[in-house]
C-alpha cells in the first residue's frame, strides 16, 4: 500500500471581541499563531487561506498534511497556546486521508500537490447516497468515468479528493485549485446534469478559500499588518 497522508482542514472564526483588543496585543496574538504554523511547515505541508469576504462563518483556514496524525494533533496543541485561540473557535473541521482512487487511471493525488499556485482553493465535504454503494462495480466505474471526462475538459482546474470514511462525519473532502471561480462555477453547473451528480447526498458547505500566506490571512482578520508592529517582548 503506498504511503497515505492525513489532510486536515481547520476553519477558524474569530470572536468579534478580539478586535476590541489593543493593536499591539492583536499583533502578538497573530504572531504566535503564525509561529505555530511556520514551525509545522518546516517539516510538513501547510497552507493558509483567507475566507474574509467569501464566507461569514469562518475567517481563515489552515490546511495541514502529514502521514502522522500525532503531528496534526501537536500542531493544534501549539495553536491552542497562541493568543489568537483565546479569542477564536474552530467553526468547521475536516479530517481526511489521501488514498488511491478506484476509478481514475491517472497518476494519483496521493498528497496535496505542493507545486500548485492557483489563486483559489475550493473545498467541500461530500456524501454519496447509500444506493450509490449498492450499484455494481462496473456501473459505478462507467458513471465515474463520464464524470471524470467532464472534469478533463477544464484542465486548468486541479482536483484533489481525500477520504474520510469512518474517521470524520463526511465520506470525502473534495478540493479544487482554480484561478478563475467563474470557470469552476461553469464546471459545477455542467456536472449537475451527469448521472454521478444524482447520487450526491450532500456537498455543502462550500468554501471559496483565497490562497495567501498565513501572515496575510491573519492580517485580514483586523485589517492590520503584523509586520507593522515590532515584537512586544
Ranges within 27-66 binding a copy of itself (CB under 8 A): 50, 52-57
Q: Does 184 bind a copy of itself (CB under 8 A)?
A: yes
Closer by beta carbon to a copy of itself, 53 or else 230: 53
* CB closer to a copy of itself, 19 vs 118: 19
End-to-end CA distance of the chain: 49
User: For 227, what's the count of Cα atoms within 13 Å in the CB-facing half-sphere?
Assistant: 6
| 8-state DSSP, 155 | T
What is the distance between the alpha carbons of residues 172 and 159, in angstroms, rounded to a whole number? Answer: 12
Closest distance of CB 120 from a copy of itself, Å: 8
- Report how many residues bind a copy of itself under the rule CB under 8 A: 79
Which among 45, 118, 58, 122 has a CA at the least distance from the CA of 88? Answer: 58
The helix or strand, by DSSP H or E, that contains position 92, with its residue range, turns out to be: strand 88-97
To the nearest whole angstrom, how small is the minimum distance from the Cβ of residue 89 to a copy of itself? Answer: 6
CA distance 73 to 96: 14
Q: Work out whether 154 is an interface residue with a copy of itself (CB under 8 A).
A: no
CA distance linking residue 218 with residue 30, whole number of Å: 6
> Out of 27, 34, 65, 97, which residue is the one contacting a copy of itself (CB under 8 A)?
97
> Which residues, numbered 72-91, are part of the site for a copy of itself (CB under 8 A)?
72-78, 80-81, 85-91
Q: From the list 106, 134, 230, 231, which residue makes contact with a copy of itself (rule: CB under 8 A)?
A: 134
Amino acid at each position: 500500500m503506498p504511503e497515505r497522508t492525513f489532510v486536515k482542514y481547520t476553519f477558524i472564526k474569530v470572536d468579534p471581541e478580539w478586535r476590541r483588543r489593543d493593536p499591539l496585543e492583536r499583533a502578538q496574538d497573530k504572531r504566535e499563531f503564525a509561529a505555530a504554523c511556520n514551525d509545522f511547515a518546516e517539516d510538513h505541508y501547510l497552507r493558509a487561506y483567507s475566507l474574509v469576504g467569501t464566507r461569514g462563518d469562518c475567517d481563515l483556514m489552515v490546511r495541514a498534511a502529514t502521514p502522522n496524525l500525532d503531528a496534526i494533533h501537536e500542531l493544534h496543541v501549539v495553536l491552542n497556546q497562541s493568543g489568537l485561540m483565546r479569542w477564536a473557535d474552530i467553526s468547521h473541521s475536516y479530517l481526511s486521508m489521501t488514498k488511491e482512487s478506484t476509478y481514475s487511471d491517472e497518476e494519483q493525488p496521493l498528497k496535496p500537490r505542493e507545486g500548485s499556485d492557483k489563486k483559489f482553493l475550493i473545498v467541500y465535504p461530500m456524501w454519496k447516497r447509500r444506493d450509490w454503494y449498492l450499484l455494481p462495480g462496473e456501473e459505478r466505474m462507467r458513471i465515474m468515468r463520464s464524470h471524470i471526462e467532464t472534469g478533463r475538459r477544464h484542465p486548468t482546474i486541479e482536483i484533489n479528493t481525500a477520504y474520510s470514511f469512518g474517521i470524520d462525519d463526511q465520506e470525502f473532502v473534495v478540493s479544487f485549485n482554480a484561478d478563475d471561480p467563474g470557470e469552476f462555477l461553469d464546471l459545477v453547473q455542467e456536472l449537475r446534469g451527469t448521472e454521478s451528480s444524482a447520487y450526491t447526498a450532500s456537498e455543502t458547505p462550500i468554501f471559496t478559500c483565497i490562497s495567501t500566506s498565513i501572515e496575510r490571512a491573519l492580517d485580514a482578520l483586523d485589517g492590520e499588518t503584523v509586520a507593522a508592529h515590532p515584537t512586544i517582548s
